[in-house]
Amino acid sequence: MANIDVMNLNGEKVGSMELADAVFAPDQVNEALLWEAVKHFRAAQRQGTHATKNRKLVAGSGKKLWKQKGTGRARVGSVRSPLWRHGGTVHGPQPRSYEYPFPRKKLLGALRSALAAKLADGKLTVVDSLEIKEAKTKLYFNALGKLGVTRTALLVENGRTLTEGLVKGARNLQGVELVLNNEVHPYDLLRYDRAIFSRAAIEQLTEALARSVSRRAAGRKATKAEKEAA
């Protein structure tokens, strides 16, 4: 198992913890799976409010401009015809959702890949606690500086230990986002330069991801046994 130092908000080492190989091993990084997860996330974020007007919606009279025959001109039924300037649009985009289903197993695999990549790049930090006595943005800004944050950072906390002071102290920091460990997405880990987890958050998330790996392995063994028996 890989070991990682546990820091405090003063940038001092206060301990260490082991990271499960089932989650943080270098061979867990699957770039293709990460690409799929990011593509799915960004597609779901699209508003999909684009719209064009067809001949029913554009302005203009529906009166036939001239009689069908005898004028020598091309027949036309309405000024709103798509063939005419300012007429309706044919097969134009209409409001819709770009979201599509994404298997949970693939999402968990992408999350393991993102965590392993962060650890391999040295951009993953574990702190004993993200709580500061006073809910002041300046204190959190100084704390992140001591932890080596120079660009952007993702703060991940456990829902049981999340406090109002942490929310208020971190919400006004530019380039910093606070999420819960059960809501973190691979896109978040790739979007921000540094990922800072509280010890409680990383332990709970690692346990959940390792459990999903063991269930998948058990399912594969059961399937293989069924095939052999058949």
Instruction: Domains for the chain: give ranges and CATH numbers.
Output: 2-45+102-229 (3.40.1370.10), 52-92 (no CATH)
Q: What is the pLDDT of residue 62?
A: 84
Token digits for 136? 């002041």
Task: Examine the pLDDT at 35 and tell me if it is beyond 60.
Answer: yes
Task: Examine the pLDDT at 217 and tell me if it is beyond 80.
Answer: no
Q: What is the pLDDT of residue 131?
A: 87
| 148-202 residue pLDDT tens | 899 999 999 988 878 888 888 888 899 999 999 899 999 999 999 999 999 999 9
Q: What is the pLDDT of residue 3?
A: 85
Q: What is the pLDDT of residue 202?
A: 92
How far apart (Å, rounded) are the C-alpha atoms in residues 108 and 102? Answer: 11
How far apart (Å, rounded) are the C-alpha atoms in residues 202 and 189? Answer: 13
Task: Examine the pLDDT at 212 and tell me if it is beyond 90.
Answer: no
Consecutive H or E run containing 141: helix 137-146
**Does residue 203 sit in helix, strand or coil?**
helix
CA angle 102, 107, 110 (to 5 degrees): 135
Consecutive H or E run containing 15: strand 13-19
Rounded to the nearest angstrom, the gap between the alpha carbon of residue 53 and the centroid of all alpha carbons in its chain is 33
Q: What is the pLDDT of residue 169?
A: 87
CA angle 225, 226, 230 (to 5 degrees): 115
Q: What is the pLDDT of residue 23?
A: 87
Q: What is the pLDDT of residue 226?
A: 57
Count of helices and strands (H, E) across the chain: 7, 6
Task: Examine the pLDDT at 28 and tell me if it is beyond 90.
Answer: no
Q: What is the pLDDT of residue 95?
A: 94
Count how many residues are written for the chain. 230
Consecutive H or E run containing 190: helix 186-191
Q: What is the pLDDT of residue 20?
A: 87
Token digits for 66? 């001239």
Task: Examine the pLDDT at 225 and tell me if it is beyond 60.
Answer: no
| 44-60 residue pLDDT tens | 999 999 999 999 999 99
Q: What is the pLDDT of residue 135?
A: 81
Task: Examine the pLDDT at 66 and tell me if it is beyond 80.
Answer: yes
